[in-house]
Amino acid sequence: MANSKYEYVKREFEFDRSLPASNWIVVRIDGCHFHRFSEIHDFEKPNDESALRLMNACATSMLEKFRDMVFAYGVSDEYSFFFREGTEFYQRRESKILSLCVSFFTSVYVMKWKDFFPSKELKEPPYFDGRVVCYPNLKTIRDYMAWRQVDCHTNNQYNTCFWMLVKSGRTEKEAQQTLKGTFSKDKNELLLQQFQINYDDEPAIFRKGSCVYRAKVETKVKSDDHGNPITRTQSVTTVANIDIIGPQFWETHQDILHEVGTEKCKYELVKKFDTIHRLPRCNWTIVRINACQFDQFSLIHTLDKPNDETALRLMNASASLVMEWFPDIIFGYGFNNEYSFVFQEKTELYQRQESLILSSCLTYFTSVYVTMWKEFFPKKELLQLPHFEAEILCYPKPKIICDYLSWRQAECHRTNQYNTCFWMLVKSGKDKSEAHEILKGTLSKDKNELLFQRFQMNYNNEPAMFRKGSCAYRQKVEEFTKVGDSENVTRERWDMTVAHVDMKPGFWRKHPYIFNQCHSV
């Protein structure tokens, strides 16, 4: 397929780091603003068991979905996922691994919400940030786990005291004051003296967090001729609330990490492995989201071919909500099953930390997509979880952003024209390989000709949404003057608009405020 002249924007600017070989890959995700999320959903304090079980169910689905994930450890609104040392999952490409994990997790979280909270509506879309850290050997990976579990212990012990004090009538300030500077044993003492609580009797899910792994289980499959049982070892995804700091668990589950380290842990060191990548300054950033295995997804949900208008409108609605939530996104462009979001040059979202921007934007999109599905497809049950991958791109000038967008629009045109021909041929009785054969090597004008000759169809009369994709941006809808006491104030209202138009220079000249400056493109 001939490359368009815009294609250089991919070749020269895209980057996708490969993670170093022979390292365990850890993806740690953490709920965004879960302090607030837990409040508006009335989570019990300090620990809502249903919320924890929902997190565990999501982690279980993760291990069932991704075979190279060997272990997961979770506490509160965070979960760490461990890929085996030698994994070749997506050739160890960082943004692929990160985006698939956070997006799939979020999808399951939204889908399973009602199983754990049957009488609570999801009032806001949950979303997660995520990062990837590599650990080169058993010692550091074990130290990482110990670090998280010690953190769980410290936080939970503090929170248990804090909420007992608050529930007994103390103000939050007083409770903080009481706990300031106390050691672990002081807190245990306080619980015992004031509330007759033995901290060690608290549920293990609160004290130890949750581990998810595949356990080998012997099951009887049948009996032989003499009545002796024939067993088979099966691996069963298991959740356990146990100690992973000491050697015991690892000695009885040697297959998870293959070897067991014996040196004593120094888990303070592990934080040094966490490398933060920030987006380069003075660059416009694009997050491009793309549904995975959508061919299969569209088949299962019987989406119309070549274009399902409702599916496209759901993409647009999800994109609009993303842009309302992240005001730094100045423009969105989508077609098919992908969407690109352009962040303004000076964004300080997450202090420009790449993986946090990528994952929060992606999971917010995933969340609203899953949530709004039934609104758009009231008669179609969501049979398979949609999940998306995302990548991030940086361009130093608006001109190149415009070229990027033109490249995507050229791609929209190319694939849509091809698919329109392909499906017309298939619907007229050709089989799929025949249809591909007919279209092989044809130019754009040949395809228009084919549509016209065989099907009396003028390609240019096809709906603009299919041919041009969708542009999402803010537009000033009204300007009104409020009469005040001393002076009149002029107010503006900006609403999200979705338009199906060419992103040629004329469009940018008509909407100079999108890039917040007049520029020639």
- Edge-to-edge strands, sheet with 78-83: 128-135, 24-31, 78-83, 69-75, 210-223, 229-240
Residues 88-107 that bind ligand ATP (CB under 6 A): none
Q: Residue type for 139, please? A: K
If DSSP codes are grouped into helix, strand and coil, which group holds residue 109?
helix
User: Of 322, 321, 299, 323, whose CA–CA distance to 311 is shortest?
Assistant: 299
Buried-exposed string 94-110: b where 16+ CB fall within 10 A, e elsewhere: bbbbbbbbbbbbbbbbb
Taking the least distance from each CB to ligand ATP, the nearer of 334 and 398 is 334
Q: Residue type for 251, please? A: E
Taking the least distance from each CB to ligand ATP, the nearer of 214 and 387 is 387
Q: Which residues pair with 329 in a beta bridge?
A: 343
Q: How far is the CB of 37 from Mg ion (least distance, A)?
A: 8
By CB under 5 A, residue 37 contacts Mg ion: no
Residue 292: contacted member of ligand ATP, Mg ion, none (CB under 5 to 8 Å, by partner type): ligand ATP
- Phi first, then psi, for residue 321 (nearest 5°) are -65, -40
Taking the least distance from each CB to Mg ion, the nearer of 7 and 30 is 30
Structure tokens given for 152:
């769980």
HEC profile of 408-474: HHHHHHHHHHHHHHHHHHHHCCCCHHHHHHHHCCCCHHHHHHHHHHHHCCCHHHCCHHHHHCEEEEE
User: Of 498, 499, 100, whose CA–CA distance to 318 is shortest?
Assistant: 498
Q: How far is the CB of 276 from ligand ATP (least distance, A)?
A: 15
In the structure, how many helices (H) and strands (E) does the chain have? 18, 12
Taking the least distance from each CB to ligand ATP, the nearer of 373 and 508 is 373
By CB under 6 A, residue 69 contacts ligand ATP: no
Q: How far is the CB of 512 from ligand ATP (least distance, A)?
A: 31
- Phi first, then psi, for residue 259 (nearest 5°) are -125, 165
If DSSP codes are grouped into helix, strand and coil, which group holds residue 341?
strand
Q: Which residues pair with 217 in a beta bridge?
A: 234
Structure tokens given for 27:
């993806």
Q: How far is the CB of 30 from Mg ion (least distance, A)?
A: 4
By CB under 6 A, residue 464 contacts ligand ATP: no
By CB under 6 A, residue 293 contacts ligand ATP: yes
By CB under 6 A, residue 1 contacts ligand ATP: no
Residue 270: contacted member of Mg ion, ligand ATP, none (CB under 5 to 8 Å, by partner type): none
If DSSP codes are grouped into helix, strand and coil, which group holds residue 21?
coil
Taking the least distance from each CB to Mg ion, the nearer of 36 and 120 is 36
Using CB under 6 A, which of 32, 321, 412, 471 touches ligand ATP?
Answer: 32
By CB under 6 A, residue 56 contacts ligand ATP: no
By CB under 6 A, residue 377 contacts ligand ATP: no
Using CB under 6 A, which of 80, 149, 210, 336 touches ligand ATP?
Answer: 336
Q: Residue type for 30, please? A: D
Residue 35: contacted member of ligand ATP, Mg ion, none (CB under 5 to 8 Å, by partner type): ligand ATP
By CB under 6 A, residue 397 contacts ligand ATP: no
> Residue for token digits 């008669």?
379
Q: How far is the CB of 52 from Mg ion (least distance, A)?
A: 12
By CB under 6 A, residue 279 contacts ligand ATP: no
By CB under 6 A, residue 400 contacts ligand ATP: no
Taking the least distance from each CB to ligand ATP, the nearer of 44 and 449 is 44
By CB under 6 A, residue 292 contacts ligand ATP: yes
By CB under 6 A, residue 255 contacts ligand ATP: no
Report d(CA 362, CA 117) in Å as an integer. Answer: 24
Under 8 Å between Cβ of 407 and 7: yes
Label residue 483 exposed, middle or buried (CB < 10 Å: 0-12, 13-18, 19+). exposed
By CB under 5 A, residue 94 contacts Mg ion: no
Using CB under 5 A, which of 27, 43, 77, 503 touches Mg ion?
Answer: 77
By CB under 6 A, residue 31 contacts ligand ATP: yes
Selected range binding Mg ion among 70-78, 167-175, 230-238, 292-300, rule: CB under 5 A: 70-78
Using CB under 5 A, which of 6, 24, 34, 199 touches Mg ion?
Answer: 34
**Length of the chain (residues):** 521
If DSSP codes are grouped into helix, strand and coil, which group holds residue 513?
helix
Q: How far is the CB of 466 from ligand ATP (least distance, A)?
A: 9
Report d(CA 383, CA 444) in Å as an integer. Answer: 36
Q: How far is the CB of 71 from ligand ATP (least distance, A)?
A: 21
Selected range binding Mg ion among 29-37, 232-240, 318-326, 469-477, rule: CB under 5 A: 29-37
Is the Cα torsion angle 180, 182, 187, 192 positive or negative in sign? negative
By CB under 6 A, residue 76 contacts ligand ATP: yes
Report d(CA 175, CA 195) in Å as an integer. Answer: 14
By CB under 5 A, residue 31 contacts Mg ion: yes
Under 8 Å between Cβ of 316 and 466: no
Structure tokens given for 509:
């000249």
By CB under 5 A, residue 202 contacts Mg ion: no
Residue 500: contacted member of ligand ATP, Mg ion, none (CB under 5 to 8 Å, by partner type): none
Using CB under 6 A, which of 172, 189, 295, 324 touches ligand ATP?
Answer: 295
Q: How far is the CB of 301 from ligand ATP (least distance, A)?
A: 9
Residue 437: contacted member of ligand ATP, Mg ion, none (CB under 5 to 8 Å, by partner type): none
Binding residues (CB under 5 A) for Mg ion: these are 30-31, 34, 76-78
Binding residues (CB under 6 A) for ligand ATP: these are 30-35, 38, 43, 45, 47-48, 51-52, 76-77, 290-295, 298, 303, 305, 307-308, 311-312, 336-337
